[in-house]
Chains A and B, each alone.
Chain A
């Protein structure tokens, strides 16, 4: 579990995060949603330790990140898997080498053990025969699946995804969403997804944190988001006619 208390972050005079307090549960897909400029990416980068913050605390299973020594932080980061918006695959390496990279860096496994593990995770993300391809030869959906495989290869305790569906067609988006959800349940990891894809919210949002102007404006789940009267949330989530109809149907069916 990840606990965030009164997190504050500024860039010069711009106060981006104004005191966010929330928790992200183990074994669940936790979503951070909000409009562009609401502070989602900054929040995620603070969670990852890529940005230092001025005030507040972030603890991973009780360990406050900012209190750790450099070595402890390094060990903690080895337990984190991250799927970047643009996949961030190393373009000088093949897909198999990309996935093997965390194992080479952080484990003392033999080459055959590493290859077995890479085969296993690539099979898990349905990329059985892509080992020797370069990232540039893979489609956007394949690149995202490779990024997921690289993120989970070293059995992380925390998985972060920054807009994993951006640039993907709706069908591939659902595949990626389901894959993340299955992996989260299978390995019992704490998954935090930064998204503004409403399909993901409805499909896999077991816990949803809604940010607005650097503050937590609402917190709930895919079930409670249908029933909320919070105007800030409904104006954002049900801005399209499609989702307005989906909500109406849901409320009629469950009234």
Chain B
């Protein structure tokens, strides 16, 4: 029994190691044998439309309302009259710029964009479209994953909008909810601003964009089976992309801010 358990655990470790190795090899392969620029340009534009423009609506909606909720929660928890009302704006700005916009939106995007990438590439695998590319002598990883990687380099643009709308939503909730005046809120938003916090947020955003492009692609590209497995691969890709985002968020925060 002990031996059985030992071997099961050992095989499991090997699977994880194998997958991690395969993931990094995929990244290397993605940059080799580039597709013709005339074709690649069209693929990049299509992916910008699918992944970035197509996510604007949901990101704007979530950012605006979560910004509002952050403000209300902060305001309700400040009941000491000695604390200035401008702290509501300050706390909202810090929460949104440091964590909500780069990290929370990235987790949502792991669900929206990640599952789209996994299922679209996975379906191409199941229906032999990837084999068709390979038979033609095309580097299918470069053709499929590289445009997504380039498109997601525009992801900071989406996060900037999330930051702006989050603070705007907070302002609307604060003023219309009667928690503080517009002047107090704006004073708070401008208070003790550290420009490096923006740099930190965008460094995180670029790293998360890379994860959002590559981890779901890995799960779609290397999946085996049929339609049911495409669904399972999408779920697995969401889980692993979220885990990677949370872990790297911790490491980057430790490295850049502490």
B247 within 8 A of A: no
Q: Which of A67-111 contact B (CB under 8 A)?
A: 70, 73-78, 80, 82, 84-86, 88-92, 102, 104-106
Q: Which residues of B contact A104 (CB under 8 A)?
A: 36, 38-39
Interface residues of B in 35-61 (CB under 8 A from A): 35-36, 38-39, 46
Q: How far is the CB of B257 from chain A (nearest CB, A)?
A: 42
Q: What CA separation (Å) do A85 and B35 show in the bound complex?
A: 26
Question: In this assembly, does B183 line the interface, its C-beta being within 8 Å of a C-beta of chain A?
Answer: no
Complex interface: chain B residues within 8 A of A91 (CB):
123, 127, 129
A84 adjacent to B136 (CB under 8 Å):
no
Q: Is B132 an interface residue (CB 8 A)?
A: yes
Given contacts A84-B128, A88-B127, contact A77 B39 (CB under 8 A): no
A14 at the interface (CB under 8 A from B): no
CB distance from B48 to the nearest CB of A (A): 15
**What is the bound-complex CA distance between A90 and B38, given in angstroms?**
18
In the complex, chain B residues whose CB is within 8 Å of the CB of A86: 127-128
Q: How far is the CA of A70 from the CA of B29 in the complex (A)?
A: 13
Q: Does B134 count as interface, using CB distance less than 8 angstroms? A: yes
* Residues of A close to B46: CB separation below 8 A: 92
Which B residues are CB-close (under 8 A) to A105?
A: 35-36, 39, 136, 138
Chain B residues with CB under 8 A of A85:
128
Residue of B39, B123, B134, B137 contacting most chain A CB atoms (<10 Å): B137
Chain B residue nearest to A150 (CB atoms) is B132
What separation, in Å, do the CA atoms of A86 and B131 have in the docked complex?
11
Residue of A nearest to B138 (CB): A105
Give the nearest-CB partner of B36 in chain A: A105
- How far does the Cβ of B120 sit from chain A's closest Cβ, in whole Å? 8
Picked from A70, A77, A90, A106, the residue with its CB within 8 Å of the CB of B135 is A77
In the complex with contacts A104-B38, A104-B39, A105-B36, A75-B129 CB distance below 8 A: no
Interface size, B (range):
10 to 19
B135 A82 Cβ-Cβ under 8 A: yes
What are the residues of chain A within 8 A of B35 when measuring CB–CB?
Answer: 105
Contact: A50 with B131, CB < 8 Å? yes
A127 at the interface (CB under 8 A from B): no
Q: Does A90 contact B129, Cβ atoms closer than 8 Å?
A: yes
Interface of A is mostly: mixed
Q: Which residue of B127, B129, B136 has the most chain A CB atoms within 10 A of its CB atom? A: B136
Q: Does A130 contact B (CB under 8 A)?
A: no
What's the Cα separation between A148 and B138 when bound, in Å?
Answer: 19
Give Cα distance in the complex from A78 to B33, angstroms.
14
Please name the residue on chain B nearest to A92 by beta carbon. Answer: B46
With A and B bound together, what is the CA distance between A217 and B135 in angstroms? 28
Chain B residues positioned under 8 Å from A75 (CB to CB): 137
CB B192 to nearest CB in A, in angstroms, measures 49
Q: How far is the CB of B119 from chain A (nearest CB, A)?
A: 12
Q: A77-B136, A102-B136 are in contact. Are A88 and B129 (CB under 8 A)?
A: yes
Quick one: closest A residue to B143, CB to CB?
A105
A75 to B36, CA, bound (A): 14
Residues of B within 8 A of A160 (CB): 135
Contact status A50-B134, CB under 8 Å: yes
Specify which chain B residues have a CB less than 8 angstroms from the CB of A106 in the assembled complex. 136-137
Q: How far is the CA of A195 from the CA of B46 in the complex (A)?
A: 38
Asked if A48 is at the interface (CB within 8 A of a chain B CB), the reply is: yes
Which A-B residue pairs are the 5 nearest by beta carbons? A77-B137, A88-B128, A88-B132, A74-B137, A82-B135
With A91-B123, A106-B137 already in contact, 14 other A-B pairs whose C-beta atoms are closer than 8 Å: A73-B137, A74-B137, A78-B137, A82-B136, A84-B131, A85-B128, A86-B127, A88-B128, A88-B132, A89-B129, A104-B38, A105-B35, A105-B138, A160-B135
